[in-house]
Amino acid sequence: MKHPLKKNPIENPCYYHLVGIGGIGMSAIAQVLKEMGHHVSGSDRNFDNQIAGNIFSKLSSLGINLTPQDGSGIKETTDVVIVSSAIEEQNPDIKKALSLNKKITTRSNILAEMFNTKFGIAVGGTNGKTTVSSMVGYVLDHAGMSPTIIVGGCIKNYLTPDFPGNAKVGDSDIVAIEADESDGSIVNYTPKISIITNMSKDHKPIESISKLFETFSQNTRDLLIINDDCPELKKIPFRHKNTITFGLRKSADIYASNIINRPCLSTFDINGQSFELKLPGIHNVSNALAAISVARHMNIKDNEIAAALYEYKGVQRRMDNIGEYNGIKVIDDFAHNPEKIAAAIRAVKIGGNRVIAVFQPHGFFPARFMREELINAFIQSLSPEDVLFMPEIYYIGGSVSKEISSADLIREIGKSGRNAFFVEKRGDIIPEIVRTVEKGDCILVMGARDNTLTDFCHEILHTLQKSMPYC
């Protein structure tokens, strides 16, 4: 496999320090800056407890100096301090940077500096943007265009023992990124090509997201690509001079026909060309259509696109099959908002399996903000025979109101007749799963931010292997 990152020394390297470097977006920026030839260090509030230990070890192996988040990483030689949107003003690193009069900027500003002067391809949307941006990057890379790729997930095709897989530095002027609307930074980018996958309530009200997407479209210099299947996007008065649509119906400019969804495979046709994707779910067919729209615009032939998508392995923690025992699958997924949750449950139900779902809400504000939508997503997606377990809301630190509990969500879901159970400590859910699960079930673990959810999936599988007789 080709080295996913390349050395490209520059004449005047800067000293960058990233506060919150363990985050998936921040670690991607750190890798790209390092491979550009800059000096890079970083800190993270999870440095000591090793929640993100795997990513820390990989960053360290690339020559990125890691420190606790106590101000010690900010030196007289530091030129720029980069902060994530999750960092608060009272953070010790911020205080130290201010005391030394260092320039402080955001991850999105640095990304915009890298992106806006290039042939930029930006993917926005409340759902699917990580998968679409990684698909776009991989298809272009497979076609020999050597793009730089910066996304919010670990692309399995680039994931190695030494590289996290969420960044790849290419040789061309093409840069493919995931543009985030949750912090409003999507308006900072001026892409040549932009994609908007869909729109739903997530982090912000629909009205606010709509305005962000409209500005994003106005900032697009060449081509705007829109999901024709999203009713909310149709309400936005896009006026871009060059717009194409993709979707699952013939009303779209680029649409799929002969769609077949299997438990681990999706196939479809476009204008006589067959495509095969090793990912389940109708939502991934839609994601592939977005990537195909970009590739066609870049003059890549359909058979070359199909070959790339066939080899595309997906993104870590997006419908990851952790393993199977006694006919029981354990799936790890990043789903954390209502639409993602519904899509994940639909995908694992393709084989007709009963679902044993575990959902860990990813913060007190999102749980409170999307309370009704989360409740309805589970009520509508789960069948009466399915089972849902929910531990307490994941708390990553900082000042936040804790006036909502997972128990509040479970209470309302249970009223609908669904088998929904609140189990405060996540580890205590595993014995409940063992008592509940049957041959042929699918155990679906969902949640964001917490990297240990993957370890939790492996622990479930290991416990099943020890506890259940194979038959």
Q: Give the residue with greater pLDDT, 302 vs 401.
A: 302
Picking from 56, 89, 107, the residue at the C-terminal end of a domain is 107
Q: Calculate the alpha carbon distances from 430 to 313, 353, 394, 423 in Å.
A: 29, 19, 17, 10
387-390 vs 419-422, strand pairing mode:
parallel
- pLDDT value, residue 54: 78
- pLDDT value, residue 9: 56
Residue 163 · residue 54 · CB < 8 Å: no
Residue 429 · residue 389 · CB < 8 Å: yes
- pLDDT value, residue 399: 58
**pLDDT category of residue 53 using cuts at 50, 70 and 90:** low
Residue 254 · residue 293 · CB < 8 Å: yes
The reply to whether 287 and 347 lie within a common domain is no
The reply to whether 393 and 291 lie within a common domain is no
The reply to whether 424 and 456 lie within a common domain is yes
3-class DSSP state for residue 120? Answer: strand
Q: What does 165-191 look like in DSSP terms, one character per residue? A: SSEE--SSSEEEEEPP-TTSGGGG---
- pLDDT value, residue 383: 96
The reply to whether 427 and 326 lie within a common domain is yes
Q: Per the structure block, which two tokens stand in for 74? A: 């900010």
Q: What is the pTM of this model?
A: 0.92
Q: How many Cβ atoms are within 10 Å of 124's Cβ, its own excluded?
A: 27
Residue 169 · residue 32 · CB < 8 Å: yes
The reply to whether 160 and 254 lie within a common domain is yes
The reply to whether 94 and 176 lie within a common domain is no
The alpha carbon of residue 178 and the mean position of all alpha carbons in its chain are separated, in whole angstroms, by 9
Instruction: In whole angstroms, give the CA distance from residue 390 to residue 422.
Output: 5
Does residue 2 sit within a domain? no
The reply to whether 191 and 240 lie within a common domain is yes
Does residue 71 sit within a domain? yes
The reply to whether 126 and 215 lie within a common domain is yes
Domain of residue 248 covers 116-311
Q: How many Cβ atoms are within 10 Å of 272's Cβ, its own excluded?
A: 7
Does residue 274 sit within a domain? yes
Helix (H) or strand (E) holding 419: strand 419-422
CATH of the domain at 28: 3.40.50.720
The reply to whether 125 and 267 lie within a common domain is yes
Side-chain-side CA neighbours of residue 50 (13 Å): 5
Does residue 7 sit within a domain? no
Residue spans of alpha helices (H) in 334-420: 338-348, 364-369, 371-381, 406-415
Does residue 8 sit within a domain? no
- pLDDT value, residue 47: 65
**pLDDT category of residue 73 using cuts at 50, 70 and 90:** very high
Q: Per the structure block, which two tokens stand in for 170? A: 């290419």
The reply to whether 136 and 181 lie within a common domain is yes
Average of per-residue pLDDT across 298-324: 96
Does residue 173 sit within a domain? yes
Q: In which order are the strands placed within the sheet that holds 39-44?
A: 65-68, 39-44, 15-19, 80-83, 103-106
Helix (H) or strand (E) holding 310: helix 302-311
- pLDDT value, residue 138: 98
| Residue 170 confidence (pLDDT) above 90 | yes
Instruction: In whole angstroms, give the CA distance from residue 387 to residue 396.
Output: 27
The reply to whether 202 and 351 lie within a common domain is no
Helix (H) or strand (E) holding 93: helix 92-99
Picking from 311, 336, 364, the residue at the C-terminal end of a domain is 311
Does residue 440 sit within a domain? yes
- pLDDT value, residue 2: 44
Does residue 366 sit within a domain? yes
Q: Percentage of the chain surpassing pLDDT 70?
A: 95
CATH of the domain at 242: 3.40.1190.10
Q: Calculate the alpha carbon distances from 354 to 75, 89, 328, 384 in Å.
A: 55, 46, 10, 10
Look over the chain and give the mean of its residue pLDDT values, rounded to a whole number. Answer: 92
| Residue 282 confidence (pLDDT) above 60 | yes
Picking from 53, 80, 107, the residue at the C-terminal end of a domain is 107
| Residue 456 confidence (pLDDT) above 60 | yes
The reply to whether 278 and 391 lie within a common domain is no
Residue 68 · residue 93 · CB < 8 Å: no
Q: How many domains does the chain have?
A: 3
Residue 332 · residue 445 · CB < 8 Å: yes
Average of per-residue pLDDT across 224-249: 94
Average of per-residue pLDDT across 144-158: 97
3-state secondary structure 15-45: EEEEECCCCHHHHHHHHHHHHCCCEEEEEEC
CATH of the domain at 418: 3.90.190.20
Average of per-residue pLDDT across 282-305: 97
Terminal-residue alpha carbon distance, the chain: 39
Residue 392 · residue 424 · CB < 8 Å: yes
